[in-house]
Amino acid sequence: MSNLLQELEQKIGAFRASDATKSNVGIVREIGDGVARIEGLSGAMLNEMLEFPGGIFGLALNLEETEVGAIILGDYTKITEGDQVSTTGRLLQVPVGKKLLGRVVDSLGRPVDGKGELGSSTFYPVEKIAPGIIKRQGVSQPVQTGIMAIDAMVPVGRGQRELIIGDRSTGKTTIAIDTIINQAAINRAGEESGDPNFRPLYSIYVAIGQRVANVARVVSALEAHDALKYTVIVSSTASTAAADQYIAPFAGAAIGEWFMDNGMDALIVFDDLSKHAVAYRQISLLLKRPSGREAYPGDVFYLHSRLLERSARLSEKAGNGSLTALPIIETQLGDVSAYIPTNVISITDGQIYLENDLFYQGIRPAISVGLSVSRVGSAAQIKAMKQVAGKLKGDLAQFRELAAFAQFGSDLDARTKAQLERGQRVVELFKQSQHKPLAVELQASILWAMQKGYFNDVPVDKVKVYQNKMEEYLTTRKAPILASLLAKKAFDEALEKELGAALDEFKTVVSC
Amino acid sequence: MKISKEAQYLSRQLFDAAFVNGCLDEARSLKIAEAIEQTRPRYAFQILKEFTRLLRLELAKHHALVESATPLDEASKQAIMFTLKQGDPQVTFSVTTNTSLIGGARIQLGSNVWDGSVAARLEKLKTTVLV
């Protein structure tokens, strides 16, 4: 109680000491659709927070000769023409820190999960200049997605920006959620091992313009896999104003930057940037900014480039933290050459392209091998994976071509037949159920078995069953081999011998 | 009101023409307004409206509104005027009494506000204590 009184007295003391305050004010001349035009405010700065009556805040985006165009963050229906607006001298900030883990917040960092206040006292500005050249270093540590097709063929490294692109309902969000779930599993195992060098990877999932039900589904999936405690969810659903949707990815990036700046690793998923671009287009048109291609404003490229440039791997001197970004783009009828997809493709360090046809053929995740690429991730792949998956991408692309060609002819030479059979088996191996990520050592072992011909005499339609049994066998009976592979991170002669013996034994035990 | 780009451009030009030696000339402004009314160019109404808006903003920029809780004495008025003139020699000012300020004074010049009223301090205390 005495502490409370002391604190109150201090505050009253500060109040007494204060002199007349100087502020800069303006009058709302127009208000509608979340955008206000304000006369006056001669001292307003770009991106400065503006205070409206009733504790509502706005963001100054257009500084014109006699007016200021601002977006309203909150309920704009309570603002009326003639209301007085004042500058605050502050940039928009969001709470950051570990206290946000396990929480669902809105684009301003306010909790929306009903679990009470965040209690975070650290704030980061929503807009921040990306780390410069000196502060960065190359991508060299992997982000294990737990999805075999990705970890083998389009590996992602810490600090990389890998785009997930595809039509609606092709499994884009699933890939991102599986990655978060896999990271949570790795984090748990790392914490249990007590390894002092273990670096956990925290996740941030930013939902932009998504249906509320989708966000609820993501939250429950993460909760079900005990992954929510390593995740922050920034939710700006379709029911929120365009201004909130515009701010959300930047707020998420600020939350991720805190982990990076404090020497930790974080992963951020922007789901999705197509809707973000649409929200920005809406704001820009309401602010009467000139429109360009597809009515998007001229700076829509800069909007996404400045956002994604904030993902980086910092140098040892700068704390060795990293922020990996998985932006998602939804295409229309597989058109990757549309305006926003080409923009984001050119900004990112590679893309995972999901094909509608593959999805409906039952190949899930429906990753198109030919169009998916990781420009920097191979440097981060562990050696064991490189040893077994080195030529896999090329082989699989060749298989797809051959398969299309083989449809026209029945007489195929033995070499082509073998290539086709192998391709079919690899395709089967890469099929994976959602929310069931595989550990990297298990992935490498399976691919090693494939490479050494352990799947050759298994009928194609039984490959998946055989693989599942093999995984179970290896994890339950041959765990030391997997542990040794994880520790060595490469196949050596002794390990290959041990794994070979184990798989020979498996063959005798299990028949398909 | 929506205003065309052409009207906006023309009103801006006419507004610039209303200045003599960097100061807004009242007579010239009236003459311009009369000329618009008589010649009735395209978008005459929009031009006149925008021209008036620009004039209003310009006048507000150089007019200080002094509000005080109790009537100010002559010495205080002179002191305020002297201080304001130092920053802007063109400044004019009007004084009103506003009892809702409870105590102290509030001065608004253009979009700048200096608030030393008790009401503002109480508001500040409210936000400080309630945070």
> Is the pLDDT at A398 greater than 90, yes or no?
no
- Provide the pLDDT confidence category of residue B125 given band limits of 50, 70 and 90: confident
* CA dist., res. A379 & res. A477, Å (int): 32
Q: Which pLDDT score, from 0 to 100, does residue B130 have?
A: 66
A86 in contact with chain B, both atoms CB, cutoff 8 A = yes
Contact: B108, A25; criterion CB under 8 Å: yes
Nearest to A14 among B104, B111, B128 (CB): B128
- Give me the pLDDT at residue A8, please: 63
Find which of B55, B111, B118, B121 to mutate to test the A interface (most A CBs within 10 Å of its CB): B111
* Per-residue pLDDT tens over the stretch A421-465: 889 999 999 999 999 999 999 999 999 999 999 998 899 999 999
pLDDT at B112: 92
| Contact flag A40-B111 (C-beta cutoff 8 Å) | yes
What residues of chain A, 119 to 158, have a C-beta less than 8 Å from chain B?
none
What mean pLDDT is predicted for residues A335-364?
Answer: 95
Per-residue confidence (pLDDT) for residue A11, from 0 to 100:
61
Q: What is the pLDDT of residues A472-486, one digit of tens each?
A: 999 999 999 999 999
Cβ contact B125–A86 (<8 Å): no
Residues in A touching B104 (Cβ below 8 Å) = 20
pLDDT tens per residue, range A298-320: 999 999 999 999 999 999 999 99
Residue A375: active-site member: yes
What is the predicted pLDDT for the residue at A1? 54
Q: How far is CA A281 from CA A173, B8, B49, in A?
A: 23, 25, 30
Min distance A53 CA to chain B CA atoms (Å): 13
pLDDT beyond 90 at A13: no
Cross-chain Cβ contact B114/A20 below 8 Å: yes
pLDDT at A57 over 80: yes
Q: Give the DSSP per-residue string, A330-365.
A: E-STT-TTSHHHHHHHHHSSEEEEEPHHHHHTT-SS
CA distance A184 to A256: 16
Which residue is associated with the tokens 């797809």? Answer: A400
Contact B108/A40, CB-based, under 8 Å? no
Number of H helices, E strands in chain A: 16, 18
**Comparing C-alpha atoms, which of B10, B26, B13, B17 is closest to residue B90?**
B26
Do the chains contact at A23 and B54, CB–CB below 8 Å?
no
Per-residue pLDDT at B93:
87
Q: What number is the average pLDDT over the span A116-125?
A: 93
The C-alpha atoms of residue A467 and residue A436 are separated, in whole angstroms, by 14
A8 vs B115: CB contact, 8 Å cut-off?
no
CB contacts of B15 in chain A (<8 Å) are none
pLDDT at residue B61 above 80? yes
Q: How distant is the Cα of B64 from the closest Cα of chain A, in angstroms? A: 14
The whole-number pLDDT of residue B51 equals 94
What confidence score (pLDDT) does residue B131 get? Answer: 57
pLDDT-derived band at A9, boundaries 50, 70, 90: low
B interface mutation test: which of A5, A8, A18 has the most B CBs within 10 A?
A: A18
Q: Which of A313, A254, A311, A248 is nearest to A280 (CA)?
A: A248
pLDDT at site A392: 86
Name which of A171, A166, A142 is nearest A154 in CA terms.
Answer: A142
The pLDDT mean for chain B works out to: 90
Which of A4, A5, A23 is most worth mutating to test chain B (most B CB atoms within 10 A of its CB)? A23
Minimal C-alpha gap between A12 and chain B (Å): 7
Q: Which residues of B touch A (CB under 8 A)?
A: 53-54, 57, 60-61, 104, 108, 110-116, 120-121, 124-125, 128-129
For position A337, what pLDDT does the model report?
94
pLDDT at A208 over 60: yes
**For A136, which DSSP code?**
B
Q: Which residue has the higher pLDDT, A419 or A296?
A: A296
What tokens appear for A161 in the block? 């920006």
Radius of gyration of chain B (CA): 20
pLDDT at A34 over 80: yes
Asked if residue A44 has pLDDT above 60, the reply is yes
Q: Which residues of A touch B114 (CB under 8 A)?
A: 20-22
Q: Which residue of B has its CA nearest to A16?
A: B121
Which two three-digit tokens encode residue A311? Answer: 């993902």
Contact B111 A66 (CB under 8 A): no
Q: DSSP label at A292?
A: -
From A310, A375, A415, A425, active-site residue: A375
Q: Return the DSSP state at A271.
A: E
Sequence-ordered list of residues with C-beta below 8 angstroms from that of A109, at least 6 positions apart, any chain: A94, A95, A96, A100, A118, A251, A255
Chain A: give the shortest CA distance to residue B118, in Å.
10
pLDDT value of position B22: 87
How far off is chain A from B50, nearest CA to CA, in Å?
Answer: 11
CA-nearest residue to A7 within chain B is B129
For residue A19, the model assigns a pLDDT of 67
Q: Please state the rounded mean pLDDT for residues A87-112.
A: 95
Please report the pLDDT score of residue A247 as a whole number: 96
CB pairs under 8 A between A and B: 54
Inter-CA distances, A175 with A352, A366, A375, A400, A431, Å: 10, 10, 19, 22, 13
Q: What's the whole-number mean pLDDT along residues B20-33?
A: 92
Contact B112 A24 (CB under 8 A): yes
**CA nearest A100: which of A242, A227, A204?**
A204
Among A299, A275, A297, residue whose Cα is nearest residue A288: A297
Structure pTM?
0.90
> CB-based contact (8 Å) between A398 and chain B?
no
Sequence-separated (6 or more) residues with CB below 8 Å from residue A189: none
**For residues B108 and B120, what is the distance between their CA atoms, to the nearest angstrom?**
14
Cβ of A24 and B111 within 8 Å? Answer: yes
Residues in A touching B115 (Cβ below 8 Å): 20-23
Tell me if chain B has a CB within 8 Å of the CB of A14.
yes
The larger pLDDT score, comparing residue B93 to residue A28, is at A28
**Interface confidence (ipTM) of the complex:** 0.84
pLDDT at res. A42? 92
**In 3D, which of A59, A45, A53, A31 has the Cα closest to residue A280?**
A59
The CA distance from B25 to the nearest CA of chain A, in Å, is: 20
Which chain A residue is nearest to residue B128, measuring alpha carbons? A11
pLDDT attached to residue A237:
96
**pLDDT for A15 beyond 60:** no
Confidence of residue A352 (pLDDT cuts 50, 70, 90): very high
